[in-house]
Structure 1
């Protein structure tokens, strides 16, 4: 059965791979991106099955306008994919205030506002799916990516909550968590001026690894898109979809360490309750 999809950030990477695969299999796609001409070849090939609109997710007004037009003109949208975003690459002390605002406006506030704009339409049509692209960096953290991680951990918390709020309306969410992927991600990293004080720290080590190519980008965006197509039909929707063998290993280790640390604090946690004799 063919579906209609709304995909933000569809000009490159996983978003572009999704658009290509969906159109090839016969689905209809509403694709948003900052430069719609980037999809002109696909538009020429697939015609009305590709609905494209310019959108900068930093503008809440534009988000609401584009989402309204997409649902109104296409009638129904079954799956919404939030994939627009970028990464600020620098130690917390190095990045500027404007860069922090831009990181959070794009990855966090932009994603939240796309979801908020879609919810009334999804609720009115009796349900739908939202695939929120997060990252393995929504469950663990690397030095030199502190603001990027802040955006990803935050959007995961938002989704965990809103998914419970709208479950009675048949709206389901999946957090998609890719590991390092062979896209233009590295070239798109936004880097502030480097402080010499961080040269011989874990932040400097990560910088050198990315610059030298030692930071492995093993994820295949086409295979990741295929996995997302499959999960969109899964019943019930899994809350998370982790993509990449390295990501699996690293998140597994991080969660095991957090659980072990939690268990070590059990006695302290239990000791802080109000004494039963005072209830």
Structure 2
């Protein structure tokens, strides 16, 4: 089954044509690393995928359900299956780590926010929150305020919050951009380990090409609102990835140095 299917999608903001007939498919359980320079349309694509920005033309389906034909109620239900890990963590800084993780279950509860407050949460929710914190190695920080944590620890809390959501798809928007290299690798290791354990589908944007060489099943590259590179990670040369951040719109095999024996990916 295709977890995500994007077919000939266009998105405009006034006269700015951001997504230009973009097509992308991601299978259930697959991890795709999305690369591209700032302004190429990556963030817009991610907003379209979780329903935050309606697309103008084309079709987007999540587990076979077309986003542009769902009622608001059905769209809310579908969005519960899509967890987002942000670059800036999006935590409530002046409340506890435990409470931030509980917020991840808000969309599942009959009374929403009220049911996810620590003072009203059920024993089941509280146990799940502690188990999520244990999984990311922060159970001992449950009662600390998030503002007391390092950047790497805060991103671990954000991952634990996503685990509470019971999402089936993880959209990670530059999850290590705010971290130093050591913390960034630790977060990527943790995120991909959790994904493998739960057999989740992942679309993760990165700018760190050295990390892109190590993680995921496929490398997808964007330029000017289109997919110009889509190939298994092990087939993509570093020089090919670097071309995504240069001026030419099209990536081709001339990007690979003559001494590089890595196969050149197919280009779309």
- Normalising by structure 1, report the TM-score: 0.36
From the two aligned structures, give the one with the greater strand fraction.
Answer: 2
